[in-house]
Amino acid sequence: MPNPDAPDTTPDVTPYDAVLLVSFGGPEKPEDVVPFLENVTRGRGIPRERLEEVGEHYYLFGGRSPINDQCRAFLAAMRADLAAAGIDLPVYWGNRNWDPYLRDTMAQMAADGVQRAACFVTSAYSSWSSCRQYRENLFDAVEGVEGAPRLDKLRHYFNHPGFVEPVVDATLAALAELPEEVREGARIAFVTHSIPTAMNDSSGPPEAGGGAYVAQHRDVAQVVVDQVAEQTGVRHGHDLVFCSRSGAPHVPWLEPDVNDHLEALAEQGVPGVVMVPVGFVSDHMEVIYDLDTEAMETAEKLGLPAARAATPGDDARFVATVRDLLLERAAVERGQEVARASLGTTGPMWDACPVGCCANPRGERPALCGR
């Protein structure tokens, strides 16, 4: 008996023979915390006090970041999704800052004879930290590894429906968690990782004038607000705010900080707030500490009813986004025309970053996956 659910044609993934999940990495036990922080901040001029403070966030959770388990769950979901679609590709995982390190993964891929892999990075937006630095890490990972595969980074997906739709649903669910009497008047705080303002200014292609990091977040926020309004009939006021500021105090980073923002909302008499961590693909430390712990405490002190929306995590639509981008890119590489899904006004993103995109504030370094 043929299986009626089986796809009638196996999707063509040529020229790829592997998929690589690229992530940040995080500590898994207390002894990992200091070496992890040293990996992240090497040569970055992060003040000692900031490092001690961030270390405490990790110790509060037993020295274990949630990020690696999030990646493991995502990997399992990805493998199941690809298999269900009849795609038989090995899926690898490598991190920028912790085991499994990208470089070790490269050696494994080379040993397995992988020729060309499509890379999905757990970071959705443009900026040096969130895109170009990963491209530099990929360069470093293959440098000197004999037989290392060719790596292609799958395009940015912040505006892909598979990323945005789970955020819309999560926003609706968080609104429903608020007491009924404050729901309609609640404001939505879209939260993302702060970066130095200079890094935002140099994000995106130079000829576009910079500012892509903030512009992309604003575009997604507008789509979410519009889709929520379609569902509820209420167009909530919204703001883009930031968490996890680091660096030296005299260096300007994107503001307002989420805690200052909550104070301002309370002062204005806003009855409630939903925090949507739109800058994070899953529950990273920034989400469980900076939002669920610190910002929630701020809201409580202010007597401001608050709820935090879930991140996409291993939502089936987000997991399927990897497959969609893989098949899209494979078709492009075979010279075929493709339809590229996107929402909002930015339009679908490029496959290879333009020259000079998201310039490294510390000077040019070699990177893969650019033109």
Ligand X SMILES: CC1=C(CCC(=O)O)c2cc3nc(cc4[nH]c(cc5[nH]c(cc1n2)c(C)c5CCC(=O)O)c(CCC(=O)O)c4C)C(CCC(=O)O)=C3C
**Annotation: binding site for Fe-coproporphyrin III:** 65, 134
In the block, tokens 């912040």 appear at 158
Both tokens of 65, joined, read: 């970041």
Q: With respect to ligand X, which residue has the nearer C-beta, 40 or 102?
A: 40
Q: With respect to ligand X, which residue has the nearer C-beta, 65 or 171?
A: 65
Q: With respect to ligand X, which residue has the nearer C-beta, 16 or 128?
A: 128
Binding positions for Fe(2+): 193, 286
Among 246, 298, 311, 346, binds ligand X (CB under 6 A): 246
- Number of chain positions touching ligand X (CB under 6 A): 26
Q: How many CB atoms lie within 10 A of CB 262?
A: 26
Both tokens of 339, joined, read: 């339809």
Among 66, 211, 256, 344, binds ligand X (CB under 6 A): 66
Residue 311 lies near ligand X (rule: CB under 6 A): no
Least distance from ligand X to the Cβ atom of residue 247, Å: 6
Residue 158 lies near ligand X (rule: CB under 6 A): no
Least distance from ligand X to the Cβ atom of residue 279, Å: 6
Site residues for ligand X, 204-243, by CB under 6 A, read none
Residue 284 lies near ligand X (rule: CB under 6 A): yes
Residue 193 lies near ligand X (rule: CB under 6 A): yes
Residue 126 lies near ligand X (rule: CB under 6 A): no
Q: With respect to ligand X, which residue has the nearer C-beta, 166 or 272?
A: 166
Among 65, 126, 202, 342, binds ligand X (CB under 6 A): 65
Q: How many residues are present in the chain?
A: 371
Site residues for ligand X, 21-50, by CB under 6 A, read 24, 26, 37, 40-41, 44, 46, 50
Residue 282 lies near ligand X (rule: CB under 6 A): no
Least distance from ligand X to the Cβ atom of residue 311, Å: 11
Residue 265 lies near ligand X (rule: CB under 6 A): no
Q: With respect to ligand X, which residue has the nearer C-beta, 202 or 244?
A: 244
Write a three-state SS string for the chain: CCCCCCCCCCCCCCCCCEEEEEECCCCCCHHHHHHHHHHHHCCCCCCHHHHHHHHHHHHHCCCCCCHHHHHHHHHHHHHHHHHHCCCCCCEEEEECCCCCEHHHHHHHHHHCCCCEEEEEECCCCCCHHHHHHHHHHHHHHHCCCCCCCEEEECCCCCCCHHHHHHHHHHHHHHHHHCCHHHHCCCEEEEEEECCEHHHHHCCCCHHHCCCHHHHHHHHHHHHHHHHHHHHHCCCCCEEEEEECCCCCCCCCECCCEHHHHHHHHHHCCCCCEEEECCCCCCCCHHHHHHHHHHHHHHHHHHCCCEEECCCCCCCHHHHHHHHHHHHHHHHHHCCCCCCCCCCCCCCCCCCCECCCCCCCCCCCCCCCCEC
Q: With respect to ligand X, which residue has the nearer C-beta, 137 or 298?
A: 137
Assess contact for 115 and 149: CB atoms under 8 A.
yes
Residue 270 lies near ligand X (rule: CB under 6 A): no
Least distance from ligand X to the Cβ atom of residue 50, Å: 5
- 211/67 Cα distance (integer angstroms): 27
Residue 285 lies near ligand X (rule: CB under 6 A): yes
Among 195, 278, 357, 368, binds ligand X (CB under 6 A): 195
Interface residues with ligand X (CB under 6 A) are 24, 26, 37, 40-41, 44, 46, 50-51, 54, 65-67, 123, 127, 129-130, 193, 195, 244, 246-247, 279, 284-286
